[in-house]
A = this chain, B = another copy of it.
Amino acid sequence: MSNFIRNAWYVACYAEDIGEALFARRLLDEPVLLYRKEDGTPVAMLDRCPHRFAYLSKGRRIGDEVECIYHGLRFGADGGCTRSPYHESPPANIAVATFPVVERWGMIWIWMGDAALADPDLVPDHSHLEAEDMHTAHIHYTFQGNWQLGNDNLLDLTHLFWLHANSIGGYKDEAGPAPGEVYTAKQVGDEVHSTTLTPNVTKPSAVPNRLPEGEPYDQWNDTIWRAPADIRFFIHASPVGQREGSIPYMTQSHIMTPETATSTHYYSPVARSWDKDPAKDEGWTSFFKAIFDAEDGPMMADVEEQMAGRDLMEMRPVVLPRDRAAILARRTVARILAAERGETEIAEAAE
């Protein structure tokens, strides 16, 4: 079930996760070592000495190099062996695999497919996190389920009204979707764009926003998905009927990187246009993390348990109108996976 798209930029970690120390993280079911060179440049390599397969992350850092703790081979940031205690000069044929990395939007992006295709210009746009008048907090979740369950969860926001009924779902005084909610979803090239709009909201929202309580407003979320699992939320609220030219009061990135076939790293930077004191970041991240860990995370672990190694689409789920974006995303993923495998047909299971 390790259906990983290989040729894509994935988030390996947040920019602040790495520095001088050796940092280990399993990504796409491979052990990866990350650190920064003395000049700050991020480095990623396979966390496995090519000699006897020790984790390099358990070794020690010497300048920009890493020394294996088992028998002392030393490797540079480019993966080449820089010192062997057993040779006069380091043999040219000893090297550890490295991965292209790019630091952008506060995150370290890694390419674990064909390195020749690793074009930094392909790093997905998350410039909204650095937009003027916004402040961003970094949230890192993990869940015990396949990465595509993250796409499914985030592309069908109706789960807010049920799974999150007692936290951030819907409105403070009752659960369930508001009357008049409008949902659209469409394929735009390799992206899936969807919007959920609730016009003329008069109830107090459980989601923090900047509108004065009591005033009716229009509330909407423009969602843009891109493969493998890169989602942006642009969340708006405006006085009723004045949606034109609105600037989102909050934006969120939701980016999933497979840890294994059945567990996932989920990076979710959230940008807010108010309450921007960085000292408040901890409150923001713990607010969202508590909800995720109590509600979304267990749900995705449950679904993974129900799948028991099967593919979700092979289990023929009932498809609802609000699954449109999620299904378009699954079809796009199936198309890309088939292309990576050299297949011309789209996997039938996803049709």
Contacts and interface: CB of A to CB of B under 8 A. Distances in A.
Given A53-B317, A70-B159, A86-B322, 7 more contacts: A48-B306, A53-B306, A53-B312, A68-B162, A71-B162, A73-B318, A84-B320
Nearest to A316: B50
A73 B322 CA distance: 12
Contacts of A176: 72, 85
Nearest to A93: B318
Interface string A24-39: 0000000100000000
B86 A52 contact: no
Interface in A156-171: 156, 158-159, 161-163
A55 interface: yes
Given A85-B176, A306-B55, A162 B69 contact: yes
A291 interface: no
Given A94-B318, A302-B54, A162 B70 contact: yes
B318 A71 contact: no
Interface range, A side: 35 or more
A72 B31 contact: no
A177 interface: yes
A267 to B, nearest CB: 23
A303 interface: yes
Contacts of A172: none
Contacts of A93: 318
A303 to B, nearest CB: 5
3 smallest CB-CB distances across A and B, nearest first, come from: A53-B306, A72-B162, A50-B318
Interface in A51-97: 51-55, 58, 67-73, 84-87, 93-94
Contacts of A306: 31, 48, 53-55
B159 A71 contact: yes
A330 to B, nearest CB: 12
Nearest to A298: B58
A73 B54 CA distance: 49
B54 A303 contact: yes
A21 to B, nearest CB: 18
Given A48-B306, A302-B58, A71 B322 contact: yes
B320 A86 contact: yes
Nearest to A53: B306
A154 to B, nearest CB: 13
Contacts of A177: 85
Given A162-B68, A162-B69, A320-B71, A307 B53 contact: yes
Contacts of A87: 320-321
